[in-house]
Amino acid sequence: MCNESMAELSWAEQCRIIGDAGYEGVEIAAFTLVKQGVREIGPAGRKEMISAMKNAGLKCVGLHWLLAPPPKGLHFTTPDVAVRRKSVAYLDDLIDLCCDLGGSYMIFGSPKQRNTQGITVEQGKKYFAEGLASVADHAQRCNVKILVEPLGRRTTDVVNTMAEAMELVRRVDHPAIEGMFDFNNTPDETEPFDVLIRKHFDHIYHIHVQEQGGKHLGTGTAVNDYVKTFQTLKDLRYDKWVSLEVFDFSPGGKTIAEESMAILQRIEGKLV
């Protein structure tokens, strides 16, 4: 489960709620834990985070919302070379944090930090690929994969579909750069979820799940609508993380965690 719905709580309390609800891992939005950047979480702080996860029976899945502020001013596809370099350097810092916490995946969404800024979409993709390529060896040494997350055009204009994400992955052509699937970030897709999963399965290393529209599971029709997709994942022997990520935090982290887990269990119960 992603942690940002409980950002007002201590890290230990976030972990306890997630663990008590039955989840096995926590996916971390690093911006919720820092004031200026992840380097302020020193060795002692990282050990404390690991202890809190272990005490709650959790593993670190990895990181997401990679370039969301703080720190301010990061942008991965800007024509400003200095800003791109600063953003790449921060991605290196995030790789180190992910590695230190025992995480394996970094989900690159961050829509506002990958929009075009007076350049073409193709140029934006070029900068995106170059930035990923420049950190790929570091990620591989740390046993971390950076996963390109396709996002709808309502949030960004660079990489909106699974096909575009796979194109970027192929352009970088490095084992540390792969893709993922998010149930909610599919408004520009023209094929059913299960078809997308089958078509791109070899490059899907992570799943984000929530109701369509971004609310927690149980507030919509996912309990029925997602069964075919999860059956496809089971048939294909998907053995990686499925992580709950929501965008409406108003019910509170505990309710979000518990009600969503109940729906995930109901979906699992329908699989053959």
pLDDT for residue 138: 99
Q: Is the dihedral of CA 58, 68, 252, 210 positive or negative?
A: negative
Tens-place pLDDT, residues 127-185: 999 999 999 999 999 999 999 999 999 999 999 999 999 999 999 999 999 999 999 99
**Tokens representing 154?**
């309502």
pLDDT for residue 94: 99
Tens-place pLDDT, residues 94-107: 999 999 999 999 99
- The angle, 0 to 180 degrees and rounded to 10, between the axes of the packed helices 121-141 and 81-101 is 30
Confirm if 259 and 218 have CB atoms less than 8 A apart.
yes
Q: What residues make up the domain containing 40?
A: 4-269
Confirm if 253 and 6 have CB atoms less than 8 A apart.
yes
DSSP of 76-103: SS-S-HHHHHHHHHHHHHHHHHHHHHT-
pLDDT for residue 65: 98
What CA–CA distance (Å, rounded) separates 202 from 200?
A: 6
pLDDT for residue 214: 97
Confirm if 264 and 27 have CB atoms less than 8 A apart.
no
Count of domains observed in the chain: 1
CATH number at residue 52: 3.20.20.150
Which residues does the chain have with pLDDT short of 70?
none
Query: Which helix (H) or strand (E) element contains residue 161?
Result: none
pLDDT for residue 197: 98
pLDDT for residue 145: 99
- The angle, 0 to 180 degrees and rounded to 10, between the axes of the packed helices 193-200 and 162-172 is 10
Decide: residue 93, CB within 10 A, 0-12 exposed, 13-18 middle, 19+ buried: middle
